Amino acid sequence: MLQLKIKESGRLDRVLRKAELPGAEWLSRSAWDSLFEQGMVRDESGRRLVAGSQQDAGALIQLNLPALAGILPASESLVPVWMADDLALFDKPAGLDSYPLFPWETNSFANRVAAWLMQTGKMSATDFSQLASAPVLEGGLTQRLDRDTSGALLVALTTEKKAAIRTEFSVHHVNKSYLALVHGIPKELEIHLQTWPENQKKMAAGREPKKADAQRVHLSVEILGTGKSTSLLRVRSVYGTRHVVRVSMATMGHPLVGDALYGTSQDGYTAHLLHAQAIQIDGYPKLPEIPPPQSFLDSCRILGIDYFHGNGK
């Protein structure tokens, strides 16, 4: 329990965000909201306080803060499938967030990478945190994958390498290949769309109308196999637009199986079926492909699609 004396009068959440607390630079506005909601902020008598309460200078506040050291190492680590001195390629499992939203969370890809870095003596979790700008807890992640998307995720081990890779993404010099299970059988194999943010959780896409914040995207699609009413696709893209495969396929009338956000949640699957198979940066050594997880292969089999035949194996 930490006891803090308020130095100036004002709204409590704003006053606390200005306070010099160890590790508090990693607390986003959402993290502070979570602390209030969980009753971790109380007055001198132990009474629970709310974010919008007005406090006078000199008031004593009790903070029951969890660890605020940035990225905490998880109990379970991940081992890279490829690495150089300052860059590593990992296979992110499906069902795992890319990075934690709050500094006290440990169940994310970034936490497991931090555990591997510490176990191998390559970097401390604190140093890994510093590869990102507070309060974002992504460490050296050069890109992000949705929670339910598995596969290739690049992690930089220096700030210089992270900046260099991010630049390559911004100028479309990074080629990405995905395996996607979708509804229907696409007729168009070259997709040209515009995407734009619709809200915080969702993107929108279309050929028209043009939006001020729209980004033109192009995807090439290869049909690897078909079932009764679904297809296994290889989708290639050089765009880092959020949800680019999911929103593009849905806009074309072929949402991913299990994609409740852009498709339907009535198809019997609770997670979308998308796997980042490969990532390649222009001018870099060829990186290994990441085979899909067994759960993805099982879904192919259930849907009547021969994955191995479609991939020439």
- Domains in the chain, please, with CATH? 2-63 (3.10.290), 71-171 (3.30.2350.10), 172-313 (3.30.2350.10)
* Better pLDDT: 264 or 300: 300
Tokens (6 digits) for 303: 């849907």
- Other CB atoms within a 10 A radius of the CB of residue 308 amount to 10
Q: Is the pLDDT of residue 292 over 50?
A: yes
pLDDT interval class at 19 (50, 70, 90): confident
What is the predicted pLDDT for the residue at 116?
97
Mean pLDDT along residues 210-222:
91
Mean pLDDT along residues 187-195:
94
Q: Is the pLDDT of residue 311 over 70?
A: no
Residue 42: phi and psi, rounded to 5, are: -140, 165
Q: Is the pLDDT of residue 98 over 50?
A: yes
Type of residue found at 29 = R
Collect all residues with Cβ–Cβ distance below 8 Å to 67 and sequence separation of at least 6: 23, 103, 104
What is the predicted pLDDT for the residue at 240?
87
Q: Pick from 60, 53, 47, 50: which is nearest to 19 by CA?
A: 60
pLDDT interval class at 312 (50, 70, 90): very low
Mean pLDDT along residues 8-20:
90
* Residue whose token pair is 């605020």: 68
Mean pLDDT of the chain: 93
* Better pLDDT: 182 or 240: 182
Collect all residues with Cβ–Cβ distance below 8 Å to 184 and sequence separation of at least 6: 229, 230, 231, 253, 254
* Residue whose token pair is 């040209």: 192
pLDDT interval class at 313 (50, 70, 90): very low
Q: Is the pLDDT of residue 200 over 90?
A: no
| Residue ranges with strand state E in 117-260 | 150-156, 174-183, 190-197, 203-206, 215-226, 230-237
What is the predicted pLDDT for the residue at 310?
55
Mean pLDDT along residues 5-28:
90
Tokens (6 digits) for 309: 């035949």
What is the predicted pLDDT for the residue at 129?
96
Q: Is the pLDDT of residue 256 over 80?
A: yes
Tokens (6 digits) for 61: 């506040």
Mean pLDDT along residues 93-118:
97
- Other CB atoms within a 10 A radius of the CB of residue 19 amount to 14
Q: How far apart, in whole angstroms, are the C-alpha atoms of residue 130 and residue 171?
A: 25
What is the predicted pLDDT for the residue at 264?
75
pLDDT interval class at 26 (50, 70, 90): very high
Mean pLDDT along residues 281-289:
93
